[in-house]
Each structure stands twice: as C-alpha cells, then as structure tokens.
Amino acid sequence: MVHLLTLPSMRFLEVNLRDSIILSGIRFYERNGFTEMMKTIESPLHMEVTLLRATIDNAKEIHAMQVDAFKELLQKYQDYDTNPGNESVEKVEARLKQRFTYYYFICVGQQKVGAVRIVDKKEAGINKRISPIFILPEYQQQGIAQRAIQLCEELHGNQNWELDTIMQEPRNCYLYEKMGYRQTGRTKVINEKLTLVFYEKKEDSGR
C-alpha cells in the first residue's frame, strides 16, 4: 500500500528513514512497515521541489504566506473583493475543511516557499481547478511555480484542468500557456485596472 506523505510541518527530514529510492520522480520511503510516497522534481539549479500536504492546523500559516505573496498585486490592482491577499484566515480554514480541496505547501528543500490549492471533485467531466497558487516574493521568477504545477498534474492527473489569472500580468499568462493551458475565451472585468482571463487544459499537451 502506498500512502502520500502528509505531515503538518517540515519535520519529515528529521525522521529516521531506513531506505529511500527514487523512481520516475517519485521518492518512496520505507518506514515502520509502510511505503510512503512524496512527489519531487529536480530543478535546473538542483533544487528539489516538493509538495507537502497541508491540514487544517496549517490554516494560519497558509494565510500569512498568502497575504505576503499577494500583497504587491493587491496594492497594484486594488482588487479587494477577489485578491487572495485580502481574504480572511476563516476563508482559508473553510476551504481546508472541504472534502474536495487539497492544499499543498510548495517546498524547496526544507523551506516552505508557497502553496497551491487544488479543487478535485474526482467526478467524470468535472475539471480540476488551481485556485490559488502563490510563491513568496523572494522565491518568485525562479521556475518554482511551473514545477509545482507539474507535480500537481502528476498527483491529480494531467487532463481536465482550469484556472484563471490576471490578463494584465503577461508572465502569468505565458507560464500557463507554456504548460499547455489555453484561453477559453471567457474574461471577467474586476475593475478598471484588472481583468481575469480563464484557461483550460483538456489534454496532456507537450510543454
């Protein structure tokens, strides 16, 4: 039986693990008679990017990171009703309680550098959704978000995804399009400064 490693903190590196092997980007740990799995990817700079499943106990930590990560965009676009940086910790807690929500810390080595929420109802014909994904300011523009999305797709399946992003942020649009996401044609004007553009990924497009 294979279990996805789900720990509330980064203490997993302090565990006395007897054996470890890597196969096709999946690291398997043998511990206490069980095999545990962690999805990993090696970056071009030899940084190991890891997804660590979050729990309700991590709500305040996720909220603090989210506020920090979205602070600059909130100041720039003043989208107070839709920006994750202006959300309450109670909203994060409510999402973590949803049976179809999967929150992961995005980690580089032992450092938590961001987080991603996946909405996956595991129903035929229903897209999986990334909402939100964020990287702390000091770790942005290093390709970490791209690798984190790759890991999410490997964990939840490569096909049938959706997300939205800010049309006025071309780097974000470029990232998603490079990863095989295509604009649906739907947009939503939030205010005079900001328009959301919606994307889908229906096939395992080449990156």
Q: What are the tens digits of pLDDT across the range 101-119?
A: 999 999 999 999 999 999 9
Mean pLDDT, the chain, rounded, equals 83
Mean pLDDT, range 87-113, rounded to an integer: 97
Residues 6+ away with beta carbon under 8 Å from 118:
101, 102, 103, 104, 128, 129, 130, 152, 156
Mean pLDDT, range 50-61, rounded to an integer: 98
Counting other chains too, the contacts that 34-39 makes at CB distance below 8 Å and 24 or more residues apart are 34/1, 34/3, 35/1, 35/2, 35/3, 36/2, 36/3, 36/4, 36/5, 37/2, 37/3, 37/4, 37/5, 38/4, 38/5, 38/12, 39/151, 39/154, 39/155
What does the alpha-carbon distance between residue 84 and residue 66 come to, in Å, rounded to a whole number?
7
Per-residue three-class SS string for the chain: CEEECCCCCCHHHHCCCCEEEEECCEEEEEECCEEEEEEEEECCCCCEEEEEECCHHHHHHHHHHHHHHHHHHHHHHCCCCCCHHHCCHHHHHHHHCCCCEEEEEEEECCEEEEEEEEECCCCCCCCEEEEEEEECHHHCCCCHHHHHHHHHHHHHCCCCEEEEEECCCHHHHHHHHHCCCEEEEEEEECCCCCEEEEEEECCCCCC
pTM of the model: 0.76
The CA–CA distances, whole Å, from 195 to 10, 169, 190 equal 37, 10, 6
pLDDT at position 204 is: 54
pLDDT at position 25 is: 43
Instruction: For each of the domains in the chain, give its residue range(s) and CATH number, in order of start.
Output: 2-201 (3.40.630.30)
Q: Which two tokens stand for residue 121?
A: 């109802």
**Residue 32 predicted with pLDDT over 60:** no
Rg of the chain taking only CA atoms, in angstroms: 17
Mean pLDDT, range 126-140, rounded to an integer: 97
Mean pLDDT, range 79-89, rounded to an integer: 97
Q: What percent of the chain has pLDDT over 90?
A: 73
Q: Which two tokens stand for residue 154?
A: 């490997």
